[in-house]
Amino acid sequence: MEVTERELTDPWEGVLVAPACGSDIGVLVLAGSSGRVERERARILAEQGMTALSIRWFGGPGQSPGICEIPLETFTTAVDFLQANGAVRIGILGFSKGAEAALLTAVHDPRVDVVIALSPTSRIWCNIGPGRDGAQHPYRSSWTWQEQALPFIPLDDSWTPAEPGSGPVAIRGWYELSERTFAHLLPPAEISVDKARADLLLVAGGDDAMWPSLPFAEQLAARRRSAGTTVRLIARHDAGHRLRLPGESPASASLRFLYGGTPEADALLGAAAWPHILNMLCSDG
């Protein structure tokens, strides 16, 4: 399908990719802690007949340099933008920290019809990097809503890698330790997906080395089912953090982090999830 791309600079850096014939389906595409604009992911969605918007939601001009007290209004403004560009049905597809943002936006904005959460968390975590004041510690929430910081879980800085050295590390254990250390903070930090009107699709790999996204996804699914609301979970136990959707380039290597999985397993998880992603985004209920 022929698509058009439009570069955006205000109110955020981003790209809007749409079918040449237009669409009434709008999808907000959010990267994880890389902060990048997900051009390729937006393009493959637009090629399936949707208007896809991907934005830089931190680290850009006038934004917090880190994922620290990011206003969820950043994403509700993006919903405004999609609606102004003809979208009737609204989806958010978020990866990792972007999935955290997507889930929370749906909890607070009933206009969101569907959330696709890739390698998600079930809880609100602390900041990654500095806030607008340049400070990284003490830990603060990743998110705010109506200028109020949301409850969060800090990281236990006593954690050390299982195999310390100069190479990339798996930090899943850091999150698992922090959950045990700050167990008393878990309940208020839970993402209340049971209160979201949106349909929910969760995609996670059991070999995720960044954080335990499959247990997190199972917790989110249980929360939805306990409230009698719909949810679908797609998983592969041999896949890692960075699943790849059909048509996407292979993930680049990292000098800092181990992500788990294998390129083959990550691609198979993306391929298994893809028809469900399209069905949920394109369905009118």
Render pLDDT for 58-94 as a digit per residue (tens, 0 to 9). 999 999 999 999 999 999 999 999 999 999 999 999 9
pLDDT value, residue 148? 98
Within 10 angstroms of residue 72's Cβ, the number of other Cβ atoms is 18
Say which CATH class 3-154+190-254+261-282 falls into.
alpha beta
Q: Which residues of the chain have pLDDT under 50?
A: none
Task: Provide the 10 A C-beta neighbour count for residue 4.
Answer: 12
Do 57 and 88 form a contact (C-beta atoms < 8 A)?
A: no
* Model pLDDT, residue 167: 84
**Contacts with 240 (C-beta within 8 Å, 6 or more apart), sequence order:** 205, 207, 208, 209, 210, 259, 260, 261, 262, 265, 266
Helix (H) or strand (E) holding 24: none
Q: Are 281 and 50 in contact (CB under 8 A)?
A: yes
Q: Could you give the CA distance from residue 95 to residue 116 in angstroms, rounded to a whole number? A: 8
Could you state, in order of their start, the residue ranges of all structural domains in the chain? 3-154+190-254+261-282
Q: How confident is the model at residue 35, as a pLDDT?
A: 84
- Predicted confidence at residue 255, as pLDDT, reads 86
CA 177 from centroid of its chain's CA atoms: 22
Residue type, position 197, single letter? R
